[in-house]
Amino acid sequence: MSNVLQLVLVLLFDSYRPFLIAMRCLYILGAWALLRKSGLPAFWSLIPWVREYQLGRCAAREPEGRSFCVTSMLITILQLANICFRWNSGNKTLASLVPLILVFLFSVMLMHFVFNIRIFAGLVHIYGVSRAWLILCVFDELRFIPMLIWGFLKRYQPAWKVEDLNAEMERLATHGRTGVLDEGLTVNLKDRHVKEFFHKKYLLKDIHMAIPQGHMVLLLGGSGAGKTTFVNAVNGYEKADASVTLNGKDMYRDYKRMLYEVGFVPQQELVRGKDTVEKTLLDTARLRLSKDIPKEERRKRVREVMEIFGLTPVKDNLVEKLSGGQKKRLSISMEILSNPSLFILDEPDSGLDGVMARELFEQLRRIADTGKIVMVITHTPDRVIDLFDDVIVLAKDSSRTGRLAFYGSVEEAREFFGKQTMEEIVKSINQKEEGGDGLADEYVLRYAEVQNG
């Protein structure tokens, strides 16, 4: 909105240019002070577009900072293109593109406005000031005012410094490596990253734990905390910079063989609706069991699994005719056929009522009691929390990286977070804009300190 006003004034009134230049200089000066207070190199404020990205980091809004940077760059390019095409108004082809450029320019400016508000809302939170300050941040012409005040007045200090926080987490993480269990799951994950915006985007970092056999483990974390990324790294589907061992055997080095030691049930049912229950399991047995096993032995194993999960009465039914709970049990049965040592389930109770969910989790508890490790992601943990041994809590830190905020027993989790329910724990680590308490950094650091003694 304010960018549109700027463009109109620049084109119509030359007298506006000196004010625009002065405003931009004050904006850069304010960015210099803010970056310095946040522990970032102040010279970044002198580099167009990169300056916006660094402000996003100061506000603990790095993803928005990247978008803010890109939209700033696009606005400049489109404004220059608009001016050049107007100068060449005699060229009908170029002149015909002006309306299209203006429409695109307005759309980019609208996105830029949204990212601007989100970043400055983050700065308001970091500096602990009233939301009324956002009124000054809406317009480009006034944004330099809060930046200068927050940047130069000593009474305004950020809640944390970007580099200091990262350095502290890295220091604590260097001592977190866990010894390998001969019987159980050991995860020593240094990081899982992707290439994004010309640099590494860390999805997970510094996750170390050892889970004994026979434990049923709850995997907690808010949206974007990295739960699915973590289980994919554990089962080897998306390899990380990590060492993952199951009963002393390396998951990554011998992936093809170890694949049969891990059962994974995704949230979506990956079964053919036109097959019967028994045929589905027999086909799975042919794929998952050794080819040396006789046909009758495979049939016997299928019958055993159907009996365990109550599928014998519906063995001749088409999969598409099963109830939601029966489909979940079928998905679990397909994975349990190969008798895996590690069993991972992503929201197995999705779409089930309380009674059916309870029955399903009791079956998972019985599987764990046979000496298996069962790891479960669920968004309704409190109704079955008594069935779990341990809790893993993943949290997004201020740089939006998933980190380990806790691993231990259910009672230890309640004591550590000072909460009685798992939902309250998740709320405490979620970002404030997600309706949480925004305490992820605090708990990540506290847990690292506890682990390092």
- Give the mean pLDDT of 213-230: 92
Q: DSSP secondary-structure letter at 386?
A: G
Q: Which residue has the tokens 């946040």?
A: 38
- Asked if residue 1 has pLDDT above 50, the reply is no
pLDDT value at position 209?
93
Q: What is the mean pLDDT of residues 42-63?
A: 88
Write down the pLDDT at residue 224: 82
Interatomic CA distance for residues 156 and 137, integer angstroms = 17
Mean pLDDT, range 273-299, rounded to an integer: 84
The candidate with the shortest Cα–Cα distance to 45, out of 63, 27, 66, is 27
Collect all residues with Cβ–Cβ distance below 8 Å to 171 and sequence separation of at least 6: none
HSE-up of residue 127 (Cα within 13 Å, Cβ side):
30
Residue 376 has pLDDT above 50, yes or no: yes
pLDDT exceeds 50 at position 14: no
Find out whether 164 and 174 touch, Cβ atoms under 8 Å: no
In DSSP terms, which residues pair with 391 in a beta bridge?
Answer: 218, 408
Range with lowest mean pLDDT among 129-133, 134-138, 211-215: 134-138
- As a whole number, mean pLDDT of residues 229-235 equals 92
User: Terminal CA-to-CA distance of the chain, rounded, Å?
Assistant: 53
The Cα 183–Cα 201 span in angstroms is 34
When pLDDT is averaged across residues 303-326 and rounded to a whole number, the result is 86
What average pLDDT does this structure show over 176-190? 83
Summarize the confidence of residues 197-203 as an average pLDDT. 70
The residues facing 407 across adjacent strands are: 392
3-state SS, residue 249: strand
Helix (H) or strand (E) holding 393: strand 390-396
Can you identify the CATH homologous superfamily of domain 167-451?
P-loop containing nucleotide triphosphate hydrolases (3.40.50.300)
Residue 174 scores a pLDDT above 60: no
C-alpha angle 56-60-62 in degrees, rounded to nearest 5: 50
What is the average pLDDT across 394-407? 88
Residue-range domain boundaries for the chain: 2-159, 167-451
Whose structure tokens read 């990212």?
115
Q: Tell me the pLDDT band of 168, cut-offs 50, 70 and 90.
A: low
At residue 223, what is the residue type?
Answer: S
- pLDDT at position 323 is 83
pLDDT band at 196; cut points 50, 70, 90: low
Can you give the length of the chain in residues?
453
Q: What is the pLDDT of residues 344-371, one digit of tens each?
A: 998 888 777 778 888 889 989 999 999 9
Tell me which residue of 274, 277, 304 sits closest to 289, measured CA to CA: 304
How confident is the model at residue 397, as a pLDDT? 83
- Residues 170-177, mean pLDDT to the nearest whole number: 58
What confidence score (pLDDT) does residue 417 get?
A: 95
Amino acid at 88: N
What integer is the mean pLDDT of 249-264?
86
Dihedral pair phi/psi, residue 6, rounded to 5°:
-60, -45
Please give the single-letter amino acid code of residue 173. A
Assess whether pLDDT exceeds 90 at residue 165.
Answer: no
Rounded to an integer, what distance in angstroms lies between the CA atom of residue 139 and that of residue 5?
A: 10
For residue 4, pLDDT over 60 is answered with no
| Mean pLDDT of the 393-404 span | 87
Instruction: Name the β-bridge partners of 192.
Output: 204
pLDDT recorded at residue 12: 44
Identify the CA nearest to 27 among candidates 127, 122, 150. 150
Determine the pLDDT at residue 327: 84
Mean predicted lDDT score pLDDT of the chain:
84
